[in-house]
Each structure stands twice: as C-alpha cells, then as structure tokens.
A = this chain, B = another copy of it.
Amino acid sequence: MPIVVMKFGGTSVGSVERIEAVADRVVRAREAGDDVIVVVSAMGESTDELLAMATRITEVPDPRELDMLLTAGERIAMSLLGIAINARGCRAASYTGSQAGIITDTQHGKAKIVEIRPKRVIEALQAGNVVVLAGFQGLSNQYEITTLGRGGSDLTAVAMAGAVGAGICEIYTDVAGVFTADPRIVPDARPVKVVSYEEMLELAAAGAKVLQSRSVEMARRHGVRIHVRSSFGDDPGTWVQEVDEDMMEGVLISGAALDTDETKVTIDAVPDKPGVAASIFKAIAAEGVNVDMIVQNVGHDGTTDLSFTAPREDVPRLRDVLGPLVRDIGAERFTLDEGIAKLSLVGAGMKSHPGVAADMFDVLAGEGVNIEMISTSPIRISCVIREGDAERALRAVHARFELSEERA
C-alpha cells in the first residue's frame, strides 16, 4: 500500500478537541486505503511551558536534561492521538523518536539526523497500525535523547517519509499554504499552488516561516513531495516539489518575503589585505553564528568597511567574538544595527527575465525607500532596508509584480 506521512503542528493538536479532529482526519486517510504515519508536535504552548519551568530553575539548563524535559511534550500529544485513533476503531501505536529509529548526532538542542532505522515503524505499519510518531526528537549515537531544534517536527516527517519511501509528506499547519507574501501584512496575498524546492529554499532563507530550509533540503534529497495545507479545512494548499521549466512558464515571481529577525553588523576600517575576511568569518562561524548577506565596500587608505547580517538571537555571541576580533585584526570598531529588514523576491522565472532587479529597485525608489545592502541569487533578489519602511515596501513590490493575480 502507498504510505502517506501527515504532520500536525502544535496549534493543530493544541487541545483534546483538536486532537480528536486530527484523529478523524487520520482515520479518513487510513480508510481511503493508505498506510499512514502521523508526526505530531507538542500540544500548543506546552514546549514553552516546559522551558519556562526549566528557566525558573536556572538561566542555562543542562542541555542533556533540557532535551529530556522537552521531549515529554510530543510524548503527551502522540499518545493522546494514539488513544483517540484507537477509540475510533482504527488501530494505532505511537513511537518516540528513539523507538522510531531517528538517529542523530550528539548536539543537544539542535541535533542533526544522521540516519533513520525505520524497522519498527515498518513492522507496525505491516501489522495494520497507523503509526503515530513524535516529531522534533531523536536518539544520539551515544544513546542520549536529543531534540532537533526549530522546525524539527517537519524535519522528522520529511526524513521519515524519505526513509520509508512515502512519496508525499503532508504538512498540516494553521495557514492555508505558502503565500505570495505574509497575509497579515499584505491582505491580498494568496496561496501559491506549486513552488520548486529551490524557490522554497530561497523563500525560507528570506524569512518565510512556513517551512524551514533543512526540511526542504531533506525533501529534495529524497524526492519527497511536500504538501503544505491547513489543518482546519480540506482545501488544497501548496505543493513543494520538482518543477519542470514548462510548468512554470509565465510565472515570474513566486513570492515576496520579509525578514525582520536579522541585525546588520559593520566593522569599520578593516585592513585591506588578503586573509582578513577569512579570519573574521572563521571566528564567527566557530561561535555557531550563521552569517547571511556580506557586503564589502571599496577600500580607501588601505582599509575597507565590511558589513554583514546575522540573526538577532546571535547578537550576544557576536558581541563576545567581535570585541577581541576587531582588536586582533587591527580594525577600528564594530557597530550593530537592529533597525533593519530584509525584503526578498523569489521566482524561478527570474533566470530568464533580467529586468526584475531593476523593477524592484524602481518600486523602492518610488516609495522613497533607501537600499542599504543588496544580494542576489539566480532566483532571488534581497535588499536590506530600514525596518520602518519594510511593510510598505513589501506591499508595493507585491502590487508591482501582480502577485495577487490568480495564475494557472
């Protein structure tokens, strides 16, 4: 039988009533003839509540113990769902990440999946069960319980879909799919029917929160089609999949995204000699900070100014590393600017339409928005602008590229 993986996020299992609604949907899918694996997150805010108890004890909880604590959340959600499915006369058995063979490295709090051993899951399916699976968690190769970090349940779902040869991974969420822009900011934004893995990766990196990059990467690697859709209805949502060129004809831009979670770092008067940039970014990477856009201005007087963006949550670590670094390399100083936003346009059609960047700059100029940094890929253009201009700028580019128009 074909296997389908269905993943439900925290909002979708946020109460006993919602868990029962999920059970109804799962039973329908099972009765339609598929083998079903359901991946669940912890109920509603329960992960945050567990975290809050831990941080009442200490600001920096022991990472091993914290993972042990947080994994209780999915355990509760999955067993309640297991109970609800069984109560509907459909056999179900729930499995922790450890039991399901999700093997990770040893990095507590943000472990990487290194292998999946789905023997027990497959046996449970063959015995006629719906398999309910805890998202977000695994077992390290040192036999310790780990968690996968933000977006971890999506990753569990996609990785398990790949491991058992399920062609489709349905991600049920509280929005109706991947939108042309955040509908809270752009009221006439609409769900996109299909995006390619590459576009989705660019959108995720550009700040679209519906799917995280590593889940999309995992799906692309294993050829798993992702269907992002609402858990509160039956409308089709967005397919994330391989897309051939013909299919995308006429679709220039898939979506626009805004990222207001970054900070801009500028290091002034960096000595303009070979190897300096490498030593800067090596030191930053060693702290585990993911640098995004990097811009180096033309040098003068043997020095140059270097700017880059990085997540705001990494600012404390950035301060720690940049202080000594600036001294060591003989630069003048560093400044942090949190008042920025990154506005991005993503679309596979850009490859064959060179005028998109110019059009985007034109829109921003027309709105009186100053562009501070620019970076591009073959299918994306991103501009760093003032945070205060961000929402107006997003609405303007969304309108200019006619993203609210329905397309075939």
On A, residues with C-beta under 8 Å from B are 16, 19-20, 50, 53-54, 56-58, 61-62, 64-66, 68-69, 71-72, 75-76, 78-80, 82-84, 86-87, 92-94, 99, 120, 143
Would A92 and B71 be within 8 Å (CB), given that A16-B57, A83-B54 are in contact? no
Task: Write the nearest CB–CB distance from A280 to chain B, whole angstroms.
Answer: 34
Contacts of A68 in B (CB 8 A): 75, 78-79, 82, 94
User: Contact at B86–A65, with CB atoms within 8 Å?
Assistant: yes
A57-B87, A69-B76 known, 6 other contacts, Cβ within 8 Å: A19-B57, A57-B80, A62-B86, A62-B92, A68-B82, A72-B76
User: Contact at A58–B71, with CB atoms within 8 Å?
Assistant: no
Would A82 and B94 be within 8 Å (CB), given that A71-B75, A72-B72, A87-B58 are in contact? no
Task: Write the nearest CB–CB distance from A136 to chain B, whole angstroms.
Answer: 14
The 9 closest A-B pairs by CB, nearest first: A69-B79, A58-B87, A65-B82, A68-B79, A62-B86, A61-B83, A72-B72, A72-B75, A65-B83
User: Contact at B53–A65, with CB atoms within 8 Å?
Assistant: no
Cα–Cα distance between A54 and B67 once the two chains are bound (Å):
25
User: Contact at A57–B94, with CB atoms within 8 Å?
Assistant: no
Contacts of A75 in B (CB 8 A): 68-69, 71-72, 75
User: Contact at B71–A83, with CB atoms within 8 Å?
Assistant: no
CB nearest neighbor in B for A67: B79
In the assembled complex, 17 residue pairs joining A and B whose CB atoms fall closer than 8 Å, in A order, are A20-B57, A53-B76, A53-B80, A57-B84, A57-B87, A58-B84, A61-B83, A61-B86, A62-B83, A62-B87, A65-B79, A65-B80, A68-B79, A68-B82, A69-B75, A69-B76, A120-B143
Task: Write the nearest CB–CB distance from A100 to chain B, whole angstroms.
Answer: 12
CB nearest neighbor in B for A88: B58
User: Contact at B50–A62, with CB atoms within 8 Å?
Assistant: no
CB nearest neighbor in B for A84: B57
Cα–Cα distance between A50 and B54 once the two chains are bound (Å):
20
Cα–Cα distance between A122 and B242 once the two chains are bound (Å):
51
Task: Write the nearest CB–CB distance from A43 to chain B, whole angstroms.
Answer: 9
